[in-house]
Structure 1
């Protein structure tokens, strides 16, 4: 039986997610409904993606008994409020990253999911890519010996995009793209809390971070270095250096198709999209959709690839980075 998806939000990421779902078997995944606060946008979206049900409010989607899981593709600033709406209505939720604006909000979402006994996952799609699965396998086999340093870089010039630069829209390099570098480090170190986090960054006039460098120290003399920017283009790769070699995830490291183990390169091609995409390698969203399906079939309430504890720790680290760099959102004061 197909997993019946309800899409919340008719923006660019929901479009790409819909296109990605079409690369999977129709008997496994179906988009049953789309909800947007603008009924016109929802209708237009439904027409483009052949979605049978259209809702002009999120509340209507939350009440639909024929939805197995809601994909939350709204603005960062909306994740907490809208996430709670669906979780309290007893709906399983896949919420786009960043999970929420701070760790307090993330803990609220986790608590709500546990209270209503539903599935909840932060949509860190990177974790579901074959390249990341191979990285975890190589680390488990100690293919590069003991890991000593992890480096992850993500720079993408997007100062022209309002939601990247405006504080009221949850902008800044950290929440938008830095999250990918940090989650990679946590994946390599198995969700271990760093012993120390040191961050330095520069802010835009709007008060959000433009570029940030983070150094983290972990137990057993292991280190991590992350750099991310919404003003410059970086190599966007990630490197794991160990006592016996290195693993390199070639850019784009957040949705990768190429892995290099020492000098051996392996490619993991993506399927072609049926419609133009808004973001790089977006058909790779299929991997997280299938991960969700497998979790629901097994009756799991969270994904072993992106456990809720990792999401909480990730946001706590981001809170600390923002504190050091000097980025404060209105959500922090509540």
Structure 2
């Protein structure tokens, strides 16, 4: 029996949604010209969950939801390492980060501005702005079902199910599962959509963001 090699640090399910595939296709076609700015926000009021606010459980906005905004910017800029990372934020009473804004500066005067919080709901959307137009992910940046390109919307309905789901758009996890199956059939050791290098870069960016805002976890001292 084949097993999936342990090469994925962060299995970002968002990358495998058809909406994300559509965005990558538009970017590869230079539909927006040269991308200059990416803005993304994700906010939900979830401090009542212990796993989101306790240090020992890896809580905080950066690790729990900020990863989706950061990986989105990474995808748009082709997994390029930022020239600089600037982060400002506030800590929750338990010492984890509660609200953070990150600016990623890239070569060629390109920039990503990302905001995420576990304190309040936000629009949870993202915008990619280029010299020839813009792409808007109108909601649910981590599991989108529509994309608006230069004011024209394209929808991507989720797979139907008769089951009750615990989380929003949970049936979208089937996209990642099918991608994994295809990788196994092809004998690939890692995903070309979310590679080991992508996972490591994402983890390194999040670690630097946590360092700058002072969200230090017990595991950081080990």
Could you say which TM-score interval applies, normalised by the shorter chain? over 0.9
Classify the secondary structure of the residue corresponding to 1:123.
Answer: coil
Query: 1:271 pairs with 152, 159, 164, which one?
Result: 159
Matched-pair contact (CA < 8 Å) for 1:119–1:296: no
- For normalisation by structure 2, the TM-score amounts to 0.97
Instruction: Please state whether the residue corresponding to 2:99 is helix, strand or coil.
Output: strand
Superposition pairs of residues 1-334 of structure 1, within 5 angstroms: 68=2, 91-92=3-4, 118=5, 120-121=7-8, 122-334=10-222
Scaled by the length of structure 1, the TM-score of the pair is: 0.65
Shift of 1:184: 0.3
State the distance in 1 between where 2:167 and 2:213 align.
28
Whether the 8 Å CA contact 1:119–1:300 is kept in 2: the answer is no
Q: Give the count of matched residue pairs.
A: 221
Residue 330 of structure 1, CA deviation: 1.1
Q: Deviations over 1:59-85 (max 9, x none)?
A: xxxxxxx5x4xxxxxxxxxxxxxxxxx
**Structure 2: stretches of 5+ with no match in the other structure:** none
- Structure 1 runs of 4+ with >6 Å offset: none
Question: What value does the CA root-mean-square deviation take over the aligned residues?
Answer: 1.0
Higher Cα Rg: structure 1 or 2? Answer: 1
Higher RCO, 1 or 2 (CA under 8 Å, sep at least 6)?
A: 2
Question: In structure 2, what is the Cα distance between the partners aligned to 1:159 and 1:143?
Answer: 40
Gaps in structure 1 of 5+ consecutive residues: 1-65, 69-90, 93-117
Per-residue CA deviation, residues 162-214 of structure 1 (Å, 9 max, x unaligned), is 10111111000110000000000000011100001100011111000011000
Q: Tell me by how many angstroms 1:272 deviates.
A: 2.9
Q: 2-side partners of 1:274 and 1:175: how far apart? A: 32
Tell me the CA shift for residue 119 of structure 1.
5.3
Helix, strand or coil for the counterpart of 1:272?
A: coil
CA contact (8 A) 1:149 1:222 kept: yes
Give the distance between the partners of 2:21 and 2:161, measured in 1 at CA: 23
